[in-house]
Every structure is written in structure tokens, then in C-alpha cells.
């Protein structure tokens, strides 16, 4: 590839955050480091990180080691082991990491959502073990909601947890768990109330340790191939009620409803993740069409190529504005219900469309392994599907509109 990016913290990205949210010295320093790391380390090793677990771990290690970049959990306050990075700056860091390598960015994003939820819901012992110590000791977390029979319909999930007071017993399966098999700690959503009519109101959250899971099996996959994605099996698996820290996060039966609100931020991380893939597809398309000639001129000189590129350029700006505005409101505690859904919908669909466009403008080379075009399409797939598919985001946006206007979601006042 002709490009040799030096930093993904481009003047455009810097100006956007400066104007939209302001950048503290901490934000600027962290984004400069992460932007360089993503461009100079992750991006050139893209294929190696996707194919070789050692390369993946080496890439992750700098990000999770507090003595190196320590980007993991950086949005947390200092007393919890973070550096008080602003949420918009954290999201932009994820965008740049995703431009460098989506597998790395997704692993970090999911862990970040768990740390964020725990930092608000955990009691003092839980904060100590699962946040402060986990950051210091480089123990990763995973979020286990999806089950083989329940993805979009997670409110009806079946994994059952019963207790005799001294311990919990778990039965069921979780699947598509990012960081599954690597993480030490699993934020497992399970049914504690047998009345299935209660839906999500009968679900609780338990912190389960890796060794308490009966079986962990990796899922071979096209998308984010460097990252761990596993199916977890619980078979009369015993989890102590407390062993230095309680395993139940929040309250019985309502724990997941509380966590759900906090996990809204996870949608913004996936929007940022999608923007990173979209940015890389855009840069690749620009790069290729500037140099590839047809009928005596560069492809980019053809209106049939230049106009869709101009439109993608505008849509990238718009999706960024939405994502970082949502992140700013999240920081201020003023995020509207459907805001993260809108950002995620636009950012992820843009990633999918741009990745496909990039593949097309590369002609046959777009299908060659030598280029990253097909991998970007696969990686965009998880942006569209993870943390709720696009259809689910549209349903959430529509039902939020209905609540606000009291009218049918199809009606636009
Ligand atoms: C790489 C990767 C990593 C992931 N990481 C995690 C993780 O860390 N933790 C975790 O818990 N999960 C994770 N997931 C799972 C992901 O969140 C789910 O796969 C996703 O929510 C969709 O669920 P599903 O696959 O069961 O699809 P389904 O829910 O079966 O949906 C299938 C199709 O039907 C559509 N559909 C479903 N219901 C409706 C409806 N009511 N109206 C209209 N259309 C509908 C969907 O939009 C989709 O197009 C991950 C997935 C991937 C691919």
C-alpha cells in the first residue's frame, strides 16, 4: 500500500473535538499517543494482528498496560485507575484504533463498557477487585448477554441463576462473547426470576470468573478475526455469593435494567468503532482512485467516482458530529434515549456502505487478499450487528419518538 500514515489524530479530528467539546491537556496528550500508535503500530501490522494471537496480544498489551499507553479504562476517574479522559476523547481514541485494527478496538470497547457499568453500579469491594485491581493487573473483562436463542430478543434470555444464599448456581449458554476465553471476569446477565413474563425485569448481573465457566469454545469467524469471540457453557456452575467481593452487581431481578441504561454508552463506542472502519475505507478509496488510471486519467477525476466520494465525505463528517455530540451529552449526563442509537445506526451503516464502495473501486484487486477491502467489509458487519442490529436501533428510535410525541412513530410532526 502506498500510504504510510504517521498519525490518525488528524487536524480534522483535533479541530472537531476542540470546537465541539474542548480538549484538555490530558485529552490531547492521550489522543496524540493513541493516534500515532494506531497509525504506526496497528495499521502496518493489520494482517499479522488478525492472523496471529501473539501479534494481537502484543498490540493489546501496550493499550492495557498502565505503564505503557494505558488507554484501557482511561475515561475512569483517577481514584479508579483512569486518567479522567473525557468521554468524547475516549470515543475518538477508539475510532482511531478501529482505523488501525478493528479487532483490537472491539476488544477494548467491550471491556470499556463493562468497566464503565461497574464503576457506577459496583460497591466498594467490587470497584476494588473488578475495576482498580483489574486495571492494574491487566485482567480483562467480557460482557455476556447474547445466547444461542436470544440476540435481539435478549430480554427473554434463558441462562438461569439460582441461589441458596451462600452461592449461585448457573445453567445455560452465552455466545458471541467478545474477549471470551481471554478475559478473567465475565459480566453475565442471567435470569434470577423464574417468571418469564417479567422479561428484562427478571434479569440480574453476576460477575463470573473464567475458571467457574464449565466450557469455553472459540467461534471461527470472518469478522474481527484477531479478537476472541466465544461460546460459554454453564452446567450447574457454582459462583460464590461473595468471596472478598459480592458477585451480584446491583439488585436481584432489577440489576440488568440498571446496567442497561449505563450500557447505552456501548452504542456510542460501536458508532466510533464503525467510524474508524469507515475512515479507513474512505482513505483507501481516495488513495487507490488517485493513482489508478482509466482512459488516460485517474479514476478520481471521473464524476461517477468523485461524486459518491464527496457524499461519503459529507456523511462521515455528519456521523462524527452525531457521535461526538452524543458522547458530550453522555459526559454531561444529558444523553437522550435514542441519541446513541441514532449515532450507532448512522456510523455503522456508513462503515458498511463505504467498505463496499471501497471494494468496488478497487475492481478485481478489491477481492485480492493483498488488499484489505474484503476484511473491512467483514469488520463493518459487526458494527452493524453488535450492540443491537440496525433494525433494533430503528425500533428504539421509533419507540422513543412515540413516547416523546405521544403519536405513532411513523408520524413526523
Ligand atoms: C464479533 C461479534 C462480537 C459480539 N460481541 C458480543 C459481546 O461481547 N457480548 C454479547 O452479549 N453479544 C455480542 N455479540 C452478539 C450481538 O450483539 C448479537 O449477535 C446481535 O445483538 C444480534 O443478535 P442475533 O445474532 O441473535 O440476531 P437475531 O436477533 O436473531 O436477528 C436476526 C435478524 O433479524 C432482525 N430482527 C431481530 N428481531 C427483530 C425485530 N423485532 N424486528 C425487526 N428485525 C428484527 C435482526 O435485525 C437481524 O437482521 C457479538 C456479535 C459479533 C458478531
- 102-154 residue pLDDT tens: 999 999 999 999 999 999 999 999 999 999 999 999 999 999 999 999 999 99
Euclidean distance between CA atoms 190 and 162, whole angstroms: 10
Which residue do the cell numbers 471470551 mark? Answer: 180
Q: Which residues contact 327 (CB under 8 A, 6 or more apart)?
A: 21, 87, 88, 90, 91, 268, 272
Give the chain's mean pLDDT: 94
Residue 278: the pLDDT is 98
Question: Do 14 and 31 touch, CB atoms closer than 8 A?
Answer: yes
Question: Do 186 and 246 touch, CB atoms closer than 8 A?
Answer: no
Secondary structure of the chain: what % helix, strand, coil (to 5)?
Answer: 55, 15, 30
Q: Where in the chain is the domain with CATH 1.10.540.10?
A: 11-136
Any atom of ligand 1 within 6 Å of the Cβ of 224: yes
Which atom of ligand 1 lies at the shortest distance from residue 152's CA?
Answer: 29
Nearest CA-CA partner of 185 in 247, 227, 243, 233: 247
Residue 1's pLDDT band (cuts 50, 70, 90): low
Strand pairing partners for 131?
none
Residue of 112, 151, 399 to test ligand 1 pocket, by largest number of atoms within 8 Å of CB:
151
Nearest CA-CA partner of 108 in 47, 146, 64: 64
Residue 33: the pLDDT is 97
Nearest CA-CA partner of 93 in 18, 26, 9, 11: 9
Question: What's the gap in Å between 386 CA and the centre of ligand 1?
Answer: 6
Euclidean distance between CA atoms 251 and 366, whole angstroms: 51
C-alpha cell read off for 30: 492521550
Residue 264's pLDDT band (cuts 50, 70, 90): confident
Neighbours of 106 (CB within 10 A): 28
238 φ/ψ sector (left φ>0, alpha ψ -120 to 50, else beta) = beta
Q: Where in the chain is the domain with CATH 2.40.110.10?
A: 141-253
Any atom of ligand 1 within 6 Å of the Cβ of 273: no
Question: What is the distance of C-alpha 171 from the center of its chain?
Answer: 27
Euclidean distance between CA atoms 117 and 140, whole angstroms: 14
Mean pLDDT along residues 66-92:
96
Which atom of ligand 1 lies at the shortest distance from residue 150's CA?
Answer: 26
Neighbours of 195 (CB within 10 A): 10
Segment (H or E) for 347: helix 339-361
Residue 376's pLDDT band (cuts 50, 70, 90): very high
Which atom of ligand 1 lies at the shortest distance from residue 381's CA?
Answer: 53
Class at the top of the CATH hierarchy for domain 257-405: mainly alpha
C-alpha cell read off for 371: 488488499
SS3 150: strand
Of 25-34, 190-199, 215-224, the range with the lowest mean pLDDT is 190-199
Which atom of ligand 1 lies at the shortest distance from residue 189's CA?
Answer: 11
Segment (H or E) for 294: strand 293-294
Euclidean distance between CA atoms 53 and 103, whole angstroms: 11
Euclidean distance between CA atoms 279 and 351, whole angstroms: 8
pTM above 0.85, yes or no: yes
In angstroms, the Cα distances linking 227 to 102, 103, 304, 317 are 9, 5, 37, 28
Q: What percent of the chain shows pLDDT beyond 70? A: 98
Question: What is the distance of C-alpha 43 from the center of its chain?
Answer: 18
Euclidean distance between CA atoms 185 and 188, whole angstroms: 9
User: Which fold, 141-253?
Assistant: Butyryl-CoA Dehydrogenase, subunit A; domain 2 (2.40.110)
Residue 259's pLDDT band (cuts 50, 70, 90): confident
Question: What's the gap in Å between 21 CA and the centre of ligand 1?
Answer: 32
Q: Which residues contact 293 (CB under 8 A, 6 or more apart)?
A: 299
In angstroms, the Cα distances linking 23 to 88, 209, 319, 324 are 9, 37, 20, 12
Neighbours of 193 (CB within 10 A): 16
Residue 409: the pLDDT is 44
User: Which fold, 11-136?
Assistant: Butyryl-Coa Dehydrogenase, subunit A; domain 1 (1.10.540)
Mean pLDDT along residues 330-334:
90
Residue of 146, 179, 186 to test ligand 1 pocket, by largest number of atoms within 8 Å of CB:
146
Helix H, strand E, coil C: the string for 157-221 is CCCEEEECCCEEEEEEEEEEEECCCCCCEEEEEEECCCCHHHHHHHEEEEEEEHHHCCEEEECCC
Question: Do 28 and 87 touch, CB atoms closer than 8 A?
Answer: no
Neighbours of 68 (CB within 10 A): 12
Q: Where in the chain is the domain with CATH 1.20.140.10?
A: 257-405
What is the phi/psi pair of residue 240, to 5°? Answer: -60, 145
Amino acid at each position: 500500500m502506498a500510504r504510510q500514515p504517521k498519525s490518525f489524530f488528524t487536524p480534522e479530528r483535533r479541530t472537531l473535538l476542540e470546537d465541539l467539546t474542548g480538549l484538555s491537556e490530558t485529552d490531547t496528550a492521550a489522543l496524540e499517543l493513541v493516534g500515532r500508535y494506531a497509525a504506526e503500530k496497528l495499521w502496518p501490522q493489520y494482517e499479522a494482528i488478525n492472523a496471529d494471537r501473539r501479534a494481537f496480544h502484543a498490540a493489546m498489551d501496550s493499550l492495557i498496560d498502565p505503564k505503557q499507553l494505558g488507554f484501557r479504562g482511561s475515561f475512569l476517574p483517577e481514584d479508579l485507575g483512569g486518567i479522567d479522559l473525557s468521554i468524547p476523547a475516549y470515543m475518538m481514541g477508539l475510532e482511531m484504533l478501529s482505523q488501525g485494527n478493528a479487532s483490537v478496538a472491539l476488544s477494548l470497547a467491550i471491556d470499556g463498557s463493562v468497566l464503565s457499568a461497574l464503576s457506577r453500579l459496583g460497591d466498594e469491594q467490587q470497584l476494588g477487585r473488578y475495576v482498580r485491581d483489574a486495571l492494574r493487573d491487566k485482567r480483562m473483562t467480557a460482557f455476556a448477554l447474547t445466547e444461542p436463542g436470544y440476540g435481539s430478543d435478549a430480554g427473554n434470555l434463558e441462562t438461569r441463576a439460582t441461589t441458596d444464599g451462600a452461592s449461585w448456581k448457573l445453567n445455560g449458554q452465552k455466545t458471541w462473547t467478545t474477549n471470551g476465553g481471554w478475559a478473567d471476569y465475565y459480566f453475565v446477565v442471567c435470569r434470577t426470576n423464574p417468571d418469564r413474563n417479567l422479561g428484562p425485569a427478571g434479569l440480574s448481573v453476576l460477575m463470573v470468573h473464567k475458571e467457574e465457566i464449565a466450557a469455553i469454545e472459540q467461534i471461527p469467524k470472518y469478522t474481527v478475526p484477531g479478537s476472541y469471540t466465544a461460546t460459554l457453557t454453564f452446567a450447574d456452575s457454582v459462583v460464590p455469593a461473595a468471596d472478598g467481593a459480592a458477585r451480584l452487581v446491583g439488585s436481584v431481578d432489577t440489576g440488568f435494567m440498571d446496567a442497561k441504561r449505563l450500557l447505552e454508552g456501548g452504542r456510542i463506542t460501536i458508532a466510533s468503532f464503525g467510524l474508524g472502519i469507515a475512515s479507513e475505507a474512505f482513505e483507501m478509496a481516495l488513495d487507490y482512485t488517485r493513482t489508478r488510471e482509466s482512459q488516460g486519467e485517474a479514476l478520481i477525476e471521473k464524476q461517477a467516482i468523485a461524486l459518491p466520494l464527496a457524499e461519503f465525505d459529507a456523511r462521515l463528517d455528519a456521523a462524527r458530529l452525531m457521535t461526538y455530540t452524543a458522547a458530550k451529552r453522555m459526559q454531561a449526563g444529558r444523553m437522550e434515549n435514542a441519541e446513541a442509537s441514532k449515532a450507532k445506526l448512522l456510523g455503522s451503516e456508513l462503515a458498511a456502505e463505504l467498505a463496499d464502495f471501497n471494494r468496488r473501486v478497487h475492481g478485481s484487486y478489491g477481492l485480492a487478499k493483498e488488499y484489505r477491502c474484503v476484511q473491512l467489509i467483514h469488520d463493518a458487519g459487526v458494527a452493524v450487528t453488535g450492540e443491537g442490529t440496525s433494525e433494533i436501533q430503528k425500533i428504539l428510535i421509533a419507540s422513543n419518538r412515540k413516547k416523546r410525541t405521544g403519536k405513532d412513530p411513523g408520524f413526523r410532526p
